[in-house]
Amino acid sequence: MKQPFYLINNRQYTLLADYNTELFLEDNQNYLFDLSYLSIIHVIGDNAATFLQGQLTCDIRDVTTSTMRQGALCNLKGRIQALLDIVNPRGYQLILAADLVADTVASLSKVAMLSRVKLQAITDYKVYGFYLTNDCGLLPAGIKLPQIKYALSVNGESYCYSLGEKLFIIVIPSAQHAELTEPFINMKKLRGSLAWHRLQIASKQIQIYPDTRGLFLPHRLDLHRNGYISFDKGCYKGQEIIARTHYRAKLKHSLEVFKISTNESISAGKKLMNSSRQSEVGEIVDYCPLPNKDEFLIAASVLHDYPPTVFIEGQQDAITLERVI
């Protein structure tokens, strides 16, 4: 039986319970999330570190067997093609949305070949999210949870890393997934990726979609404040424009999270316009529905002095921006 899902920019976020149950998380309870929308690319070769250092915004020298990093793959114009988690439990791996894998591999392949590096999909592992609010509650069996943001723990053939904000990623062999999931299923604490997505947006952890590739500069998404960019590592794709923005430009936008109400469809990449609809005040970067009908959590790149009421590109009615964080 096919799992029900919610589409965000044509990406399927799964629900393992009915809609309201899926998005409702009890206080002081821990939850596991099936993140089937994520895939893993193994970067193979003696030159893997050098290759990644020249392609991604983060400093690969910081990626060790006990520390991971988040980074962006940008084009030559400095615009984001993909956001990735970079880990090295037993060789370098890139964790990213499955619907970005083909384009990401295509973007990296030519340089990979010249660097004598091979990019290979890992298909025999599953990715889960874990939300920890109670140290004495239900915990993932056999998994050591790192105590520090970006720390990585290797547990046999599995590994786990911290994203901060009580959020963890667990990667486990597919053959062992039942041992991890069954206790959470029995306690009705297993959720799909939609509920996880809501937690991420509430923590300003956003996603790039196939139709928002090449749209955003890293500074528009506050990546320079969140550890995605190293300004000491040297050259990488898009580095010249990103560095010029950082050191010479006056930054006018920041990433904010709002609750909005609308009965019209929305999507990431849509512009936010002022009351006259003549001037752009920002863009929707990512969003997630809330339990109440017609309510959404949106992450938006907006002007520092954004107005409280805006129009979403293509919509008829004004919306009020209720800032969450």
Taking only the tens place, the pLDDT of each residue in 255-270 is: 999 999 999 999 999 9
Q: Are 166 and 179 in contact (CB under 8 A)?
A: no
In the structure encoding, which two tokens stand for residue 3, read together? 């799992």
Taking only the tens place, the pLDDT of each residue in 24-65 is: 999 999 999 999 999 999 999 999 999 999 999 999 999 999
C-alpha–C-alpha distance, residues 187 and 195, integer Å: 17
Taking only the tens place, the pLDDT of each residue in 128-163 is: 999 999 999 999 999 999 999 999 999 999 999 999
Taking only the tens place, the pLDDT of each residue in 76-112 is: 999 999 999 999 999 999 999 999 999 999 999 999 9
Residue 188 CB partners (closer than 8 Å, separation 6+):
17
- Kindly tell me if the per-residue pLDDT of 2 is higher than 80: no
Could you tell me which residue, 325 or 240, shows the higher pLDDT? 240
Which regions of 20-166 does DSSP assign to beta strands (E)?
31-34, 38-44, 69-74, 80-87, 92-97, 118-122, 125-131, 152-155, 158-164
pLDDT band at residue 1 using 50, 70 and 90 as cut-offs: low
pLDDT band at residue 276 using 50, 70 and 90 as cut-offs: confident
Tabulate helix, strand, coil % of the chain (nearest 5). Answer: 25, 35, 40
Mean pLDDT of 290-298: 95
- Kindly tell me if the per-residue pLDDT of 325 is higher than 80: no
Average of per-residue pLDDT values in the chain = 96
Mean pLDDT of 156-182: 97
Q: Are 63 and 88 in contact (CB under 8 A)?
A: yes
- Closest listed residue to residue 196, CA positions, set 163, 151, 172: 163
Confidence (pLDDT) at 69: 99
Residue 186 CB partners (closer than 8 Å, separation 6+):
none
Residue type, 56: L
Percent of all residues in the chain with a pLDDT value above 70, rounded to a whole number = 99
Task: Tell the residue number behind the tokens 């009615």, with chain if given.
Answer: 317
Task: Tell the residue number behind the tokens 């990735």, with chain if given.
Answer: 84
In degrees and rounded to multiples of 5, residue 44 shows phi and psi of -110, 135
- Closest listed residue to residue 206, CA positions, set 281, 256, 270, 242: 256
C-alpha–C-alpha distance, residues 311 and 317, integer Å: 7
C-alpha–C-alpha distance, residues 87 and 160, integer Å: 10
Mean pLDDT of 244-255: 92
- Closest listed residue to residue 287, CA positions, set 308, 258, 324: 258
- Closest listed residue to residue 227, CA positions, set 145, 306, 165, 299: 165
Confidence (pLDDT) at 290: 96
Confidence (pLDDT) at 169: 99
C-alpha–C-alpha distance, residues 300 and 137, integer Å: 34
- Total-model pTM: 0.96
At 135, is the secondary structure helix, strand, or coil?
coil
Q: Are 69 and 58 in contact (CB under 8 A)?
A: yes
Percent of all residues in the chain with a pLDDT value above 90, rounded to a whole number = 94
- Kindly tell me if the per-residue pLDDT of 207 is higher than 60: yes
Confidence (pLDDT) at 3: 76
In degrees and rounded to multiples of 5, residue 30 shows phi and psi of -95, 145
Buried b or exposed e, range 113-139, using 16+ CB within 10 angstroms: eebebebeeeeebbbbbbbbeeeeebb
Confidence (pLDDT) at 28: 97
81 CA to centre of own chain: 13
Domain architecture of the chain: domains with CATH: 5-203 (3.30.1360.120), 252-323 (2.40.30.110)
